[in-house]
């Protein structure tokens, strides 16, 4: 093998190595910030009936020399008012006062408690009668704009560049061919190359399986 041929082979290999490393240095991905409009959404929670209260701290009160224990703290002021009725009233007047207190305590009351911030509008509806009878929540998630960063998609047609070398089995017919490839939307690649030394032209088509 003459020195001229070896020199050409080395040049071809050097070009291929350069093409390989240049091809490995992909262009940086491009990103952009977009705004996504999120529409408003509304809904309601299920109606919760007779929820069980949370037992907190037991309490007690003395009434007519007896101790009464409860599972939760007592409104002592209200109980004192009830006990004090017997000291201040008697007869029909006492019964009337007791009845009024019982009527006030036994009424079924409905409360609507709204809450709103920049994200949600909430309306809680509760019924109470000495204890919570039912509760329900209606909500609206407000429309908002969210900014997010996405990658810019590449073109469906991609152009490739490179080189190839060829030789026969005797290694005495070296050729170097710059090559271009065009990838279509299906992923197939059309190839075209030019043999520098023998001035040949090659075309090819690669199918994506």
83-89 own/partner pairs: CB under 8 Å, 24+ apart? none
Check if the beta carbon of residue 98 is closer than 8 Å to that of residue 17: no
Count how many domains the chain has: 2
The pTM score is 0.49
What does the pLDDT look like over 80-128, one tens digit per residue? 888 888 888 989 999 999 899 888 888 899 999 999 998 899 999 999 8
Please name the residue that has the structure tokens 């929540």: 137
**Which pLDDT band, with edges at 50, 70 and 90, does 166 fall under?**
confident
Question: What is the domain range of residue 80?
Answer: 41-147
Same domain as 139, residue 48 = yes
Maximum distance among all alpha carbons in the chain?
A: 134
In a domain, 35, yes or no: no
For the record, the structure tokens of 171 come out as: 């290694």
Percentage of residues in the chain having pLDDT higher than 90: 19
Which residues contact residue 70 at a Cβ distance below 8 angstroms, ignoring those fewer than 6 apart? 58, 59, 60, 61
Mean pLDDT check: name the lowest of 16-30, 65-79, 81-95, 135-149.
16-30
Please tell me whether residues 78 and 125 are part of one structural domain. yes
Could you tell me if 134 and 46 lie in one domain? yes
Residue with tokens 């408003």: 40
Query: Do residue 77 and residue 111 come from a single domain?
Result: yes
Q: Are 176 and 8 in contact (CB under 8 A)?
A: yes
């Amino acid at each position: 093998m003459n020195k001229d041929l070896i020199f050409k082979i080395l040049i071809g290999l050097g070009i291929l190595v350069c093409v390989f490393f240049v091809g490995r240095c992909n262009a940086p991905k491009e990103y952009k910030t977009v705004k996504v409009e999120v529409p408003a959404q509304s809904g309601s929670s299920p109606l919760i009936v007779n929820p069980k209260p949370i037992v907190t701290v037991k309490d007690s009160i003395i009434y007519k020399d007896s101790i009464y224990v409860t599972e939760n703290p007592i409104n002592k002021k209200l109980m004192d008012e009830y006990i004090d009725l017997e000291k201040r009233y008697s007869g029909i007047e006492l019964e009337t006062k007791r009845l009024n207190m019982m009527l006030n305590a036994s009424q079924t009351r409905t409360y609507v408690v709204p809450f709103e911030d920049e994200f949600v509008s909430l309306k809680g509806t509760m019924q109470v009668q000495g204890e919570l009878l039912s509760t329900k929540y209606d909500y609206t998630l407000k429309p908002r704009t969210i900014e997010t960063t996405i990658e810019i998609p590449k073109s469906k047609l991609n152009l490739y560049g490179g080189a190839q070398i060829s030789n026969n089995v005797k290694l005495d017919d070296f050729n170097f061919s710059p090559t271009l490839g065009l990838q279509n939307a299906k992923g197939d690649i059309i190839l075209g190359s030019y043999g520098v030394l023998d001035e040949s032209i090659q075309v090819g088509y690669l199918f994506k399986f």
